[in-house]
Structure 1
């Protein structure tokens, strides 16, 4: 892949100015050095989860624990306690090992030698974690989100999909709709999905659930029982279009980071039900750090495990109609929605950071064109100082 990538760069009419690489393609660091251009990495996660995983690996605050659900304090963050189950296997082991751990260590080493981490977030949402990372680790985290702002409008074919009528009718009737989606990667058991369905049915809340129907024998009778109050969409949906619909007032989500950012930008509170990867860390951030959502708790009391219908019902009703916690998260997500909008406006934090990044790349290209070296200084000094001024 590296050879083909470099051949593609060589074939460009205009010389490449920088490489923005998926964080799991560490070999692009060598390609960037070969072409004398800076390399920026993108992992698709937020500052909070990225920082917590880094602290776990470097400082091992969990070393004294005996159980996966035993809380331990996180260094430098008073009051923040996590458990090993907040981290995805194999990183919830005391001594993670194996090919995946070795592979990820190589990617993180390449990231540390790069010129910046591009983060799909905005500074006001994760300020203390972005500052902590930038003061303690390399390379600098550059918050340029929410990136969903850059999404193209839907094509004409998708401009008015069939489910829009359902949303419009509920909006006209004054019935708030809960959007339910768990992403495309997580494998959720049929038993768990059936329990979620029972909770949705018992909640008496209107909902739109996007779901792959394969192997779900209970689905037909479920759809018949909920009738016009809820619909199950079995095809691809435009998630951003749904979240931005005025009638959608809640999002039962797996807490993939893109979904979190899209929901915050739309001003829709989140009901967190994570399944894999860094989703459990994102769920903790949503419910406990940012306060833009609630979290469904498994029957075991752990952050992992089987979720009962009664818990789904209770949390759905609280999110959509609650006058205490539900009202608090609805207010908080509206505040962060406004902050997200401000961040991407002219002069906003994300816009300033992106402008600074582009200016820095342009300076390096000019240096290279005049015969100098375009490679970043090892500590990214100019980028770092500019970035600090932008956030001041």
Structure 2
């Protein structure tokens, strides 16, 4: 246990305070290690630090290692951010040692992992009480309900952090609040989401609720614990921006009866840095397997908006048969493409051979990246004109910020709601037609999107027809709104300022006595 940075080295925001004697706001972030949760949480901490806050990111060593480069780069610019590392108790939680060191914690160990994280409450509290400055707010990922007890013991407010959109959260909330699935036995039977002006149809398979539908008693109890902690939070921070979904932000705040701060797109932290190229390339959990400069040069040689980018994120992956169909569909589309195949080394020899043959056939037109790619750098390049995505919210929002239409290919969890956001609410997406989860199913089905469907979807998004141009127009308009939200006076900028102001301690304040 220990901090990576002694408190004395924090920087300008650790000063005694302003002329009025107020202490700087000190946000303690407790993120989840999965990329879709971790990266936006850290980016939010960095954004708050640019507004004068102190931010401590609490994490096990395996998680801290994934964001150390980003945090240390911010520290070198003078921002008051630090990593505080706490080892997990593998034995007590029943988590196999090292199970948290891969790209994601294996699903069979997630229960143990959440137990191990909850055991950090006591050492984290001891550290925060002993290390200046005293915290003024705990910001925790919603999957860490134990932070309710941590914040209460410290005597400070607690905010729930979501790397999700308000639309998806509101749909999930209303489905549970109004018991929309009562009497619905078939998990694939369509149900209208209650309480929305717009008609949105989902199935239980697509939107079961957080940690619901797992036939193990512990998970149902954990789901209830998560819900109680969410209901008792002092507010919510969302990685979205107000002009993207104003009606859903307002409706979710009203449904929860709590303040909602929209601070996104939080990736704009990197786009506003003077070291733009390096921060865009390094943002992520692993080192890119493709040289960022070579990637940029490859894109420089392509016509504006001609390249389609394909990535299924840090967890979702295509089975071998699907990888072949996807590759053939991209080839048949005729468009230049960058295809990120994260799990290429796990394929059998036949599939790996197919990838090699495909590369030879599309040499110069197609780039296959085996592993991690500098996604934000790629999406921000003028040559990219569309994004085939698994609909993780980070990727969806990054597409919005880049002004790109999307081909939607959800795999599990909130990705189906994010698809509806992109296709039905924002009007910037074309669906490949997947209606059931492709991962984490008790009975796994073989659901394969054929090459013809892939080709048609890519052509639809990248083509020159009236519908395609309308999607591009909408995407460009949303990108302009995203840019304004992050600028001085924009809604997200104002939210960040308000957070720092609200959680700045008064003169002489140190927090409750130990």
- Pair 287,60 (structure 1): closer, same or farther in 2 beyond 3 Å: same
- Pair 224,109 (structure 1): closer, same or farther in 2 beyond 3 Å: same
- Further displaced range: 133-142 or 105-114: 133-142
- Pair 103,187 (structure 1): closer, same or farther in 2 beyond 3 Å: farther
* Contact map agreement 2:305 2:382 (CA 8 A) in 1: no
1:73 CA displacement: 1.9
- Pair 85,36 (structure 1): closer, same or farther in 2 beyond 3 Å: same
SS of 2:368 mapped into structure 1: strand
- 2:360 matched to 1:360? no
Provide Cα deviations, 1:74-122, integer angstroms capped at 9, x if missing partner. 22224222222321588785x9763223213212211221111100000
CA distance in 1, matches of 2:428, 2:296: 25
> What is the match of residue 373 of structure 2?
237
RMSD: 2.5
Provide Cα deviations, 1:231-274, integer angstroms capped at 9, x if missing partner. 10124221111000000000001111111111111111111111
Q: Which of 140, 144, 149 does residue 25 from structure 1 map onto?
A: 144
1:8 CA displacement: 2.2
CA distance in 2, matches of 1:45, 1:277: 11
1:318 CA displacement: 0.7
Q: Which of 187, 199, 205 does residue 85 from structure 1 map onto?
A: 205
> What is the match of residue 299 of structure 2?
167
CA distance in 2, matches of 1:348, 1:13: 32
SS of 2:240 mapped into structure 1: coil
- 2:157 matched to 1:72? no
1:319 CA displacement: 0.2
Q: Which of 157, 167, 173 does residue 48 from structure 1 map onto?
A: 167
> What is the match of residue 395 of structure 2?
259
CA distance in 2, matches of 1:306, 1:140: 42
> What is the match of residue 385 of structure 1?
none
- Further displaced range: 350-359 or 205-214: 350-359
Q: Which of 475, 488, 496 does residue 346 from structure 1 map onto?
A: 488
- 2:219 matched to 1:100? yes
- Pair 155,135 (structure 1): closer, same or farther in 2 beyond 3 Å: same
> What is the match of residue 296 of structure 1?
432
- 2:281 matched to 1:141? no
- 2:245 matched to 1:112? no
SS of 1:224 mapped into structure 2: helix
Unpaired runs of 5+ residues, structure 1, are: 375-392
> What is the match of residue 509 of structure 2?
369
Provide Cα deviations, 1:201-233, integer angstroms capped at 9, x if missing partner. 111111011113211322111111222211101
SS of 2:337 mapped into structure 1: strand
1:306 CA displacement: 2.2
> What is the match of residue 128 of structure 2?
9
CA distance in 2, matches of 1:98, 1:289: 36
1:148-187 alignment runs, 5 A limit: 148-151=267-270, 153-155=276-278, 160-171=292-303, 176-187=306-317
1:275 CA displacement: 0.7
TM score, norm. by length of structure 1: 0.86
> What is the match of residue 327 of structure 2?
197
> What is the match of residue 58 of structure 2?
none
> What is the match of residue 466 of structure 2?
324
TM score, norm. by length of structure 2: 0.66
Aligned residues: 366
SS of 2:171 mapped into structure 1: helix
CA distance in 1, matches of 2:305, 2:494: 40
1:368 CA displacement: 8.2
* Contact map agreement 1:24 1:43 (CA 8 A) in 2: no
> What is the match of residue 457 of structure 2?
315
CA distance in 1, matches of 2:453, 2:208: 23
CA distance in 2, matches of 1:175, 1:130: 31
SS of 1:162 mapped into structure 2: helix
> What is the match of residue 384 of structure 1?
none
- Pair 90,259 (structure 1): closer, same or farther in 2 beyond 3 Å: closer
CA distance in 2, matches of 1:370, 1:219: 59
> What is the match of residue 129 of structure 1?
248
